[in-house]
């Protein structure tokens, strides 16, 4: 794999959004912990389900941000150079999208 970003070590397109991603992931972690506490406290199923839907949606949005950055940087750069690396990046991105759509 020989691309300029390859040896710069910046193998990720979310560089510019790292703080935002970390903040959202920590909030999601807290939400999951809160859901466990609700179960432990015997809270009402529907209220717990509402929280599970909320955290699932939040994680889905994290995934969409990551994918957006990935396509706009890693995949776009690989595509600009073409060849088997570009093909591999596209194949890999398409599989990640399929997993996301089906999850």
Question: Whole-number minimum distance, CB 44 to its own copies, in Å?
Answer: 5
- Of 7 and 44, nearer to its own copies (C-beta) is 44
Per-residue buried b or exposed e for 46-84, using 16+ beta carbons within 10 Å of the residue's own CB:
eebeeeeeebeeebeebeeebbebbbebbbebbeeeeee
Question: Whole-number minimum distance, CB 75 to its own copies, in Å?
Answer: 7
Question: Whole-number minimum distance, CB 78 to its own copies, in Å?
Answer: 8
Question: Whole-number minimum distance, CB 88 to its own copies, in Å?
Answer: 11
Q: How many angstroms separate the CA atoms of 16 and 51, rounded?
A: 29
Q: Which tokens hold the place of 43?
A: 């809270």
Residues that bind its own copies (CB under 8 A): 1, 9-15, 18, 21-22, 25-26, 28-29, 32-33, 35-36, 39-40, 42-46, 48-50, 52-57, 59-60, 62-64, 66-72, 74-77, 79-80, 82, 86-87, 90, 92-94, 96-103
Q: How many angstroms separate the CA atoms of 38 and 45, rounded?
A: 9
């Amino acid at each position: 794999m020989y691309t300029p970003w390859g040896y710069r070590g910046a193998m990720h397109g979310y560089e510019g959004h790292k703080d935002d991603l970390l903040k959202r992931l920590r909030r999601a972690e807290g939400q999951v912990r809160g859901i466990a506490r609700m179960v432990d406290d015997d809270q009402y199923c529907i209220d717990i389900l509402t929280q599970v839907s909320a955290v699932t949606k939040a994680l889905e949005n994290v995934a969409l941000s990551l994918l957006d950055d990935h396509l706009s940087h890693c995949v776009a750069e690989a595509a600009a150079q073409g060849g088997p690396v570009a093909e591999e990046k596209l194949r890999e991105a398409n599989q990640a999208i399929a997993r996301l759509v089906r999850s």
